[in-house]
A and B are shown apart, each in its own frame.
Chain A
Amino acid sequence: MTGPFSLHNWQAWFSDWSYFAEGFLRTVYISLLGLFFTLIIGLIVGMLLCGRNRVVISICKGYMSFFQNTPLVIQIFIYYNVLPKLGIRLGIVVLGVMGLALYTGAYAADIVRSAIRAVPTGQMEAAGSQGFTYLQAMYHVVLPQAVKIGLPPMTNQAVNLIKNSSVLAVIAGGELMYCADSWSGSNLIYGPTFVMTGVLYLCICLPISLLARRLEKRSTRNV
């Protein structure tokens, strides 16, 4: 059999599997870190958006508007090209995590805000009447209820973040997509590489997507 999917090509791919395993692990690693910081950004910005300070709110809205309406690729180009010239040297992983977290955080903030808004204001008032401070009420009363509402869309954003981590291939990020792109280019073996890369991404993303779907169903059932 010849062509892009010949047996020889498959053998070549499998003999170099460890190279892809490394890229796969790096994708997982970057995604987990990215998700962690996304949640932090989302929580902080989302809570600030529910506050009363107008200046803070417009700053948060500006952040979300810029990061949601410009491509991640351009944002990454900016960090990659401008920061070193300002004397800030970040490793490719740190830069990738930062780029992904700032980008996805803009969406996470939206989710956190609507989740907090969906909790009836009576909850906050009741907590206040019991002597809770704003932050205490947020932490003990409002956020636990908001988590239930925000979890399904947040899970979808996690999948987006993992898929978007592949953009780091444009700056030689060393993650799975970069491995696929560079290995296939230097060995001129495309078919098996792309199929197996797709399978590897499916292994991470599909379970999370299915989880999101189940969470969505459960939350709509309760409403």
Chain B
Amino acid sequence: MFEKWADAFSVVFTPKILLFLGQGLLNTLYIAAVSIALSLVFGTVLGLMRHAREKLVSTVAALYIEIVRNIPLTLFIISMRFLTKLPPLESGIAAMTVFTSAIVAEIVRGGLNSIGKGQWEAASSQGFSRLQTMWHVIIPQAIRRIRSPLISQFVTTIKDTSFCAIVGTYELSFTSKIVAAHRSIVTAEDILVLYLLVAFIYYLINRAFSGLARRERGNAMKGVVR
């Protein structure tokens, strides 16, 4: 019984396999980090557009958000892979950015909407223009509220990079699938140890962000003006 597990460990924890998985992990982190950064930029712009008073602007943003949110990310991933000439990692980033921007936009919009009308009225009574109010009054308060859902979205995005395995991008999930098919991996214990190791790597990264999100949620409750 114990021997089987010890065997499984010695089969999986070899420099070759660990290095290969490590390469996958680096790609996963690269895809996730760049996608998150780009989605923050585009998502914020989209969210502000959605919140705009100009009907055309907000309709365009709403259409984008509603359509993209209701289509699986996997479809964007295979579309980017097969319809564009982007290299694997970059096509993954492009797909994830298209998708995650819509989610970020929803979060940003929710944050902006959650700031009470009184804030706008008070600022305008003090002679602030609409843009000034947005910049000095609304956004600072909204940021405090959206920090927690944004960080939760990071966790989702890191997990979602694994969808790139569908098109054979060498991120952590796909590399683990390749390792699982190697001839040195035989027994159920081998495979379980391998996948639990990979799951544990994802878990550690995501758990750190989940904890941060929970702490931010606590902070957001403090000092909110309705």
Contact = CB atoms under 8 A, between A and B. Distances in A.
A73 B175 CA distance: 12
A209 B69 contact: yes
B112 interface: no
Contacts of A72: 159, 162
Contacts of B199: 66, 70, 74-75, 78
A69 B79 contact: no
Nearest to B68: A198
B83 interface: yes
* Chain A at the B interface: SS class: helix
Contacts of A190: 79, 82-83
Given A163-B73, A166-B74, A85 B203 contact: no
Given A65-B207, A78-B195, A170 B71 contact: no
B166 interface: yes
Interface string B157-193: 0011111011000000100110010000001100110
A201 B75 contact: yes
B70 A181 contact: no
Interface in B55-81: 66-67, 69-75, 78-79
Contact of B83 (A68, A71, A194): A194
Q: Which of A70, A169, A181, A205 has the most CB of B within 10 A?
A: A70
What range describes how many residues of B lie at the interface? 35 or more
* Chain B at the A interface: SS class: helix
A161 B80 CA distance: 23
B173 A191 contact: no
A71 B196 CA distance: 12
A177 B162 CA distance: 16
A106 B6 CA distance: 31
Contact of B198 (A4, A65, A74, A201): A74
A121 interface: no
B206 interface: yes
B42 interface: no
Given A86-B188, A202-B67, A69 B166 contact: no
Interface residues of A, number: 40
A215 interface: no
B200 to A, nearest CB: 8
A145 interface: no
Q: Which of B161, B162, B188 has the most CB of A within 10 A?
A: B162
Interface string A70-104: 11111101100110011000000000000000000
Q: Which of A71, A165, A181 has the most CB of B within 10 A?
A: A71
A81 B207 contact: no
A70 B75 contact: no
B207 A159 contact: no
Nearest to A66: B203
Contact of B192 (A70, A78, A167): A78
Contacts of A169: 74, 166
Contacts of A149: none
Contact of A194 (B67, B75, B163, B192): B75
18 contacts: A66-B199, A68-B210, A71-B159, A74-B199, A74-B202, A75-B199, A77-B195, A78-B191, A78-B192, A85-B187, A163-B73, A167-B74, A167-B163, A167-B166, A177-B78, A181-B166, A194-B78, A205-B70
Given A66-B203, A71-B159, 5 more contacts: A68-B210, A69-B207, A74-B195, A167-B163, A177-B75
Interface of A: 4, 65-66, 68-75, 77-78, 81-82, 85-86, 159, 162-167, 169-170, 177, 180-181, 184, 190-191, 194, 197-198, 201-202, 205-206, 209
| 4 closest cross-chain pairs (CB), A and B | A85-B188, A205-B70, A71-B162, A69-B206
